Amino acid sequence: MARIALGLSYDGAPWQGWQTQPHRRTVQDALEAALAAFVGQPVSTVCAGRTDTGVHAAQQVVHLDTGVERPEQAWVRGVNAHLPSSIAVRWARPVADDFHARFSARSRSYVYLLLEDPVRSPLWAGRAGWSFRPVDLAAMQAGAAHLLGEHDFSSFRSSECQAASPVRTLHELRIERRGRIVVFTLRANAFLHHMVRNIVGALVYVGQGRQPADWIPALLAERNRTKAAPTFSPDGLYLTAVGYPDGHGLPSTDATDEIRLGL
């Protein structure tokens, strides 16, 4: 058996998240069906980070084990021939048996795009979140500064989160404006369920003047999800990078600037 790593990109709007479901309308279901058609036998996959319904990926990393030998480009072109237009394999690499798409990862990065406009835009539907109120960039940046570092993020995780610990280390949280789009860039060792969307929701409350910037550290201290803002829309969320230690032989897995600067 050989272990193969794949780099995956997908538009999450048509799909009910990453993880396989009985209705078979998930990214994992579509990928595994395409892999099975390509190699002629069932294939199971493991991803770096499970994305929710409507969440996109510019650079998801997946691994699979197979006894079928194929050239790297054949994995790309052959599997893509069986995938819908909303999902694509971007690269393939053979990796050592000890590589694990999830457990070998040392960081994950996300970008959230927020449309600031008094009227919703059909052209951004499914691609960006929306605030009809103007947002104060400086206030959001001041609030975001309190989230950097290692914290108990209980106030920012879903009630359905199955993580053993709510403690995570947020290495980066940038907020910038590009025209009508406000761009949030987040990088952490790992994220809790709904953590990015809950952080964005809280910072949008601050940006809209509904809460002060020092509400953010107070939320951290509360460790209570019910005290925070509602979970924000999945539409503007993109998984953009998964960081691994050197030595696995993977191509660059960072598409963060591709999303940030491609507006």
Inter-residue contact 236 to 182 (CB < 8 Å): no
263 band by pLDDT with thresholds 50, 70 and 90: low
Cβ-based neighbour number of residue 214 at 10 Å: 12
CA distance 101 to 49: 8
For residue 241, the one-letter residue type is A
In the set 52, 117, 235, 257, the catalytic residue is 52
CA distance 219 to 215: 6
Strand partners, 130: 115
90 band by pLDDT with thresholds 50, 70 and 90: very high
User: 111: phi > 0 → left, psi -120 to 50 → alpha, else beta; which?
Assistant: beta
15 band by pLDDT with thresholds 50, 70 and 90: very high
DSSP code of residue 227? G
CA distance 9 to 88: 5
CB-based burial label for 253 (10 Å; 0-12, 13-18, 19+)? buried
CA distance 133 to 116: 7
For residue 126, the one-letter residue type is G
Got the DSSP string for 70-119?
--HHHHHHHHHTTS-TTEEEEEEEEE-TT--TTTT--EEEEEEEEEE-SS
pLDDT for res 247? 84
Q: Under DSSP, is residue 7 helix (H, G, I), strand (E, B) or coil? A: strand
257 band by pLDDT with thresholds 50, 70 and 90: confident
Q: Under DSSP, is residue 64 helix (H, G, I), strand (E, B) or coil? A: strand
* C-alpha dist (Å) from residue 88 to 38, 81, 85, 115, 214: 14, 9, 7, 26, 42
CA distance 243 to 246: 9
Fold assignment, 2-104: Alpha-Beta Plaits (3.30.70)
152 is catalytic: no
Percent of the chain with pLDDT over 90: 90
CATH 3.30.70.660 fits 107-239, yes or no: yes
pLDDT per residue as tens digits for the range 108-141: 999 999 999 999 999 999 999 999 999 999 999 9
pLDDT per residue as tens digits for the range 133-172: 999 999 999 999 999 999 999 999 998 898 999 999 999 9
pLDDT for res 122? 96
135, two tokens: 């947002």
Inter-residue contact 187 to 171 (CB < 8 Å): yes
Give span(s): CATH 3.30.70.580, the chain.
2-104
Give span(s): CATH 3.30.70.660, the chain.
107-239
Question: Residue 255 pLDDT > 60, yes or no?
Answer: yes
Strand partners, 178: 181
